[in-house]
Amino acid sequence: MNSMGVRGATPVGTGNRNAVVDLVRLTAVGMVVLLHWISPVITVTNGAVKAGIAFSGPVTWVATWFLQVMPLVFIAGGFVNTAGVDATARKGQSAVTFLARRARRLVTPTLPLVGICAALATAGSLLGQPAIAIVGDQAANPLWFLAVYLVVVALAPVMVRLHDRFGLAVPAVLTLAVAAVDTYRFATVGLTGSAGMLGDVSLVLVWVTVHQLGIVLARGGLARFGDRGLLGVAGVAVAGIVALIVFGPYPPAPIGLPDVPVSNLAPPTVLMVLLGIAQVALLARFTPWLERKLDGARTRKLLQRGNSTLMTVYLWHIPAALLVAGVCLLAPELLLPQPGAAWWSSRPMWLLACGLVLFVLVKWLRHFETGERETRRSGPVSAPLIVAGTVAAAFGLHEIFLYGLDLAAQDAAGSWRGVLALGVGAVLLRVAERATSSSAS
C-alpha cells in the first residue's frame, strides 16, 4: 500500500511528506487568511469605531460553501497524522511518543502570541483604550482550532487503529453520532439557543469525524470507488447539504454573516462533515493529476518551505490586520472608507499592507515553530506528563478562545484560567521532553 493511498498513485514527496497534502494545507490556510482579511469593514462614525462583515445575501451564502476550507485542514491533518503514527510504530515507540512530538510543536508557537496579545489587551483595558483591549478577543479567535486539534492528535493513534480494523464503518458511525447530537441540540435549545456543553461535544465530534476522512485517504480507503464513484460521492454529499438547508433546520451558510447570525461552524454541524466528504472525494479524484503537476524537486522544496511556517502565519494573521487597522484609525476619513466603490478600490492596498506586516511578524517569530524538531531519541517518555500537558494546553486554549486575553476585564477569570492552564501545559510538555532526553543519555 502506498502512502498516498489513492488508486495506486505514487506519492510525490520525500520521507513522510506528500506534495499534494502540502499543497492542500498551504492553500487552505491561505484561503482562511484571505477571507479574514478581506471580509471586515471597519468604519468610524462620530468618533465610534464599528466593525462588520462586508458581504451578505444568497450569492455570498453559496460562495462561502465553495470557500470553506476548514474540513480540508483536518483531512490533511488526518493524512499526516496517519503517517506519523505509522512511523512511530515502525520505530517500536509508543503512541505517547507520537503525542509528545506533535503536542510540543503545536503548543510552543502559541506562547508568544498569548504573551504579547495578553499584555497589549490588558494594558489597553487598564488605560481605558478599548481599541487596544479588543486585541485580546480578536487574537484569541483562531485558537479554537488548536484546542480541538490537540484533542484530535491525542486520539489519532486510536483512530488509525480503529480504521485498520473497521474501515469506513468508523466515519459512518461518527457521522451518525454528529447527526444525533445536532438533532438533540435543535430539539432542546433550538437553532438560536445557547449550545453550551453540546457545542463543545459537536466541536470535538465533528472534527474528529472529518480528521477520520484523512485517515481513510491515507489508507487508500477511497480507491474502491474509482473516478466516477468519487464524483458520485461528492455529488451525494453536496445534495445532502442542499437538502438539509432547504428542507431542514440548518443555516444557509457555513459561517456567520450579517443575514445569517447562526452558522454551521460555531458550533459545527453535520453539514461540515458532508462538506468534508465532498472535499475528500474530490481530492482523491484529482490526486493523480495533482501529483503529475507537482512532480519536481523545486516544487516540493517550495511547498515544504511554505508549510514550515503555516502555524505562525495562522496565529499572527489577525494581529497583523489589527496593526494595519490601528494605523488606519489615525486617518479614518482617508484610510477607512465607507462600503462602496471607495472601499473596494482600497482592498488591494489593505491586503498588501496586511501581507507586509504579517511577513515581518513571521520572520521575527517563525523560530518558535521552525525551531521545534522532532525528538529522535529512543529513551522512554513520561506518559503522565505528556498527557497532562496536552490536556492542560488544550483546556487553556479553549478558555482563551472563549474569554479572550484581556486579563483586566470584568469577566477575566476565564482568561486567567486559560493563560495559566496553557502555561502549565507548556511547562509539563517541556519537562517531559527533558526527562526523555535524560533517560536516553
* Pair 80, 398: CB distance under 8 Å: no
Residues facing residue 84 across a β-bridge: none
* Pair 61, 349: CB distance under 8 Å: no
pLDDT at 197: 85
How confident is the prediction along the chain (441 residues), in pLDDT tens digits per residue? 334 444 433 343 444 579 999 999 999 999 999 999 998 888 877 767 778 888 889 999 999 999 999 999 999 999 999 999 999 999 888 889 899 989 999 999 999 999 999 999 999 999 988 888 888 889 999 999 999 999 999 999 999 999 999 999 999 999 999 999 999 998 888 776 667 888 899 999 999 999 999 999 999 999 999 999 999 999 999 999 999 999 988 999 999 888 887 889 989 999 999 999 999 999 999 999 999 999 888 999 999 999 999 999 999 999 999 999 999 988 888 888 888 888 899 999 999 999 999 999 999 998 888 765 544 445 566 888 999 999 999 999 999 999 999 999 888 999 999 999 999 999 999 888 766 554 444
pLDDT at 398: 96
Residues facing residue 40 across a β-bridge: 53
Closest CA to 99 of 79, 80, 85: 85
pLDDT at 193: 63
What's the DSSP call for residue 268?
B
pLDDT at 120: 94
pLDDT at 414: 94
C-alpha cell, 206: 465533528
Establish whether the linkage from the previous residue to 332 is cis, with ω within 30° of 0: no
What's the DSSP call for residue 51?
E
